[in-house]
Amino acid sequence: MSEFNRFLPTLAAIVAAAGLVFAPPSAAFAQSASQTAASGEIAPYHARFDRGRPVVAVIGENTGTELTDFVIPYGVLRQSQAVDAFAISTRPGLLKLRPALQIQPDATIEEFDARFPDGADYVIVPAIIKRDDPALLTWIRAQSAKGGSIVSICDGALVVANAGLMKQHRATGHWATHKLRSNTYPDTQWLTNVRYVADGNIVSSAGISAAIPTSLALVEAIAGHDRAAAVAEQLGVAAWDTQHDSARFHPRIGNLRSFAAPLANRWFHRMEHVGVPIAPGVDEIAVALTADAYSRTGRSHALTVSATREPLRTRNGLTVVPDTVTGELPGVDRVLPEFDAIPSARMLDEALAGIARRYGRATARGVALQFEYSIKH
C-alpha cells in the first residue's frame, strides 16, 4: 500500500469530523430547480447622481484577498466598457492576493470616498482572510447605506454577513462553508445548488468558478443582454444563468482521492515554484485563473515573472507588481508558456490540463473541486 493510500483513511476521518456530506449529488441537485427559481434576477441598473456609467468598487483587504474572486469581476466588468470599476484596498500599500499575486490598488477606501462621496453603485466583495476587519466592515455598511448594491463572490458572503447586511435575505456562498454560514448566520436563508442569488440590493455567488457568470449577469443588468453576450463570447463562455450543482463537488465516494490529493501532496512532495509570465497588456483573467489553479495543487506555487520589476498594467487596467524578473529566477523552478489567444475563461481548462500532465489527474480534479468547476479531461 502506498503512503498516499495509507493517508486516505486519515483524510476521510478528518472530512467526516468536519461535517462534510458524503452524498450522491443527484438527490441534492433535484432540489435545485426550486432554489434556482427563488434566486431571482439581478435588478436592472438605474442611473444615479447623473452618472454616465455606474461606479463599481472591487474591495480587498491588504493582507489577504482571494485572487480569482477579486480579479475576475474587475476584469469582466472593465472589459464590458459599461462601468467605471476601481480596485480598492482598506489601507495604503500593496494588495496581497491569495494564493498568489500582488497588485497596486487604484485607491484606498478613504481616497475612493473622497472622489465618490455618494458611494459606489456596486461593491464587489471577494473572500477575505480577515473577514472581521473593522475598517472593511464599516466601509461596506456605509456603501450599502448610500444605496449601493453589495455583491459577494464565493466566501465574500462571510464578509457581507459579518457586516450584518444579509439578515433576512436569501444568499449563497462556497459549498464548503454552508454549514458554517447556516450556524453562524441563521437569520439568512442560505441557498445551495445555485450559481448566484439576487435579493434586493444583495447579490451573492457560489464558489470560485461562479465569479465569471455572476460578473456577466451584472453586465447584463447594467448594459443589457446583447452587451453581456458579446463579453461572454470574448471570454469563451456559453451561458451565465443561475443553474449550478454544488453538491457534485462535495467529498463523496468516487471523488475522495481527488479531494485528498492537494492536501496529501503537501505531505509527500516538494513544493515547486512555477513562473507565470506577465507583460503590459496581459490578460488579467487568464493570469488569475492560472496562478490560482497552480497554487492550489499542494505541489506548486505560482509567481509572476516580468521583464522588469516595474508595476505593469494588464489588458483591463489592473496594476500588477511582478514577483520576480526574467533572468533572475533563482526561486523559480520552471516558467509556463506565455498566454496565447485562448479566450480568458478557457484558461482554467488549460491550467488544469497542465496540472494533470505534471502532477496527475487526481491533483487536477482536486483543484477543480475547490473551484466548483467540472473538469473537462
Say which CATH superfamily domain 38-235 falls into. Answer: Class I glutamine amidotransferase (GATase) domain (3.40.50.880)
Identify the pLDDT of residue 6: 42
Q: Mapping DSSP to helix (H, G, I), strand (E, B) and coil, where does residue 364 land?
A: helix
Percent of the chain exceeding pLDDT 90 equals 66
Query: What residues pair up with 325 in beta bridges, in sequence order?
Result: 306, 328
Question: Are 203 and 125 a contacting pair, CB within 8 Å?
Answer: no
Q: Mapping DSSP to helix (H, G, I), strand (E, B) and coil, where does residue 180 land?
A: helix
CA distances from 222 to 80, 217, 263 (A): 10, 9, 41
Instruction: Decide if domain 3-21+250-371 falls under CATH 3.40.50.
Output: yes
Q: Mapping DSSP to helix (H, G, I), strand (E, B) and coil, where does residue 47 land?
A: coil
Ranges of CATH 3.40.50.880 domains, the chain: 38-235
Q: Is 12 exposed, middle or buried (0-12, 13-18, 19+ CB in 10 A)?
A: middle
Q: What are phi and psi of 68, to 5 degrees?
A: -65, -40
**Which of 62-66, 135-139, 155-159, 364-368 is least confident?**
364-368
Give 256-304 pLDDT, tens digit per residue: 655 566 666 666 777 799 999 999 999 999 999 999 999 988 888 999 9
Report the chain's mean pLDDT, rounded to a whole number.
Answer: 86
Q: What is the largest CA-CA distance in the chain?
A: 68
pLDDT at 352 over 80: yes
**Stretch 107-115: mean pLDDT:** 98
Question: Could you please report the per-residue DSSP string of 265-327?
Answer: HHHHS--EEEEEE--TT--HHHHHHHHHHHTTSSSEEEEEEESSSS-EE-TTS-EE--SEETT
Question: Are 364 and 375 a contacting pair, CB within 8 Å?
Answer: yes
Identify the pLDDT of residue 257: 59
Question: Could you please report the per-residue DSSP string of 119-137?
Answer: --SEEEE--BSSTT-HHHH
Identify the pLDDT of residue 8: 45
Eight-class DSSP state of 194: B
Cis ω for the linkage preceding 99 (within 30 of 0): yes
What whole-number distance in Å separates Cα of residue 106 and Cα of residue 88? 6
Give 90-104 pLDDT, tens digit per residue: 999 999 999 999 999
Angle at 129 between CA 171 and CA 57, to 5 degrees: 65
What whole-number distance in Å separates Cα of residue 208 and Cα of residue 174? 7
pLDDT at 18 over 50: no
Percent of the chain exceeding pLDDT 70 equals 81
Question: Could you please report the per-residue DSSP string of 248-280?
Answer: GGS--TTTHHHHHHHHHHHHHS--EEEEEE--T
